[in-house]
């Protein structure tokens, strides 16, 4: 199966993603000093795994890394607005600064749920680093915790996108770019 034939258009190339991830890692590195407590970088599985891997390799700080899973799409193309957390953190985040790493912020429901969940574990502050932000679909306002910051790679138009870790029905994650999935592939 030639996955590239399923993509209507490419929004961000592999090189554009590489450049922006490097910039985000530099911003994070500058915002923390080696004297501060090492931030806990928490990737939201599974969509953020490639972004997380590339990002943490470029952060020039001591960090801990963990994953959390939140399900809100369940093989569809629209978030159902009811995220659940079937896979929790192993790292103790009490008193730490947490940077949640997301592939895409869409309605805001999942992110709001995750922020509340990590806050309940005693994180001193919570930042978000998302590769894509889709503000046109926002339904839930989320609030960062403490001195948390919002790091955003690209603002995404209201398309269903795949690639660079993002999927439809667990396919297309391995595409090296981010593209718009042809509607006939999910209709």
Residues recognised as catalytic? 106
CB 34, CB 62: distance < 8 Å: yes
CB 76, CB 20: distance < 8 Å: no
Q: Using alpha carbons, select from 177, 166, 180, 157 the residue that is nearest to residue 6.
A: 180
CB 177, CB 17: distance < 8 Å: yes
What is the residue whose two structure tokens read 């530099």?
26
CB 177, CB 14: distance < 8 Å: yes
CB 123, CB 99: distance < 8 Å: no
């Amino acid at each position: 199966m030639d996955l590239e034939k399923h993509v209507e258009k490419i929004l961000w190339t592999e090189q554009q993603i590489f450049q922006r991830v490097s910039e985000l890692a530099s911003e994070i590195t500058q915002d923390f000093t080696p004297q501060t407590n090492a931030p806990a970088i928490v990737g939201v599985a599974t969509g953020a795994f490639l972004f997380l891997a590339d990002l943490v390799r470029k952060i020039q700080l001591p960090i801990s890394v963990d994953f959390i899973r939140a399900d809100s799409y369940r093989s569809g193309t629209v978030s159902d607005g009811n995220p659940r957390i079937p896979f929790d953190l192993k790292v103790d985040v009490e008193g730490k600064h947490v940077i949640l790493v997301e592939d895409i912020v869409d309605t805001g429901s999942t992110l709001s749920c995750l922020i509340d969940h990590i806050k309940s574990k005693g994180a001193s502050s919570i930042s978000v680093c998302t590769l894509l932000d889709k503000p046109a679909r926002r339904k839930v306002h989320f609030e960062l915790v403490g001195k948390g910051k919002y790091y955003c790679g690209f603002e995404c138009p209201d398309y269903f996108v795949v690639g660079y870790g993002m999927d439809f029905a667990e396919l297309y994650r391995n595409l090296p770019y981010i593209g718009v999935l042809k509607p006939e592939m999910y209709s």
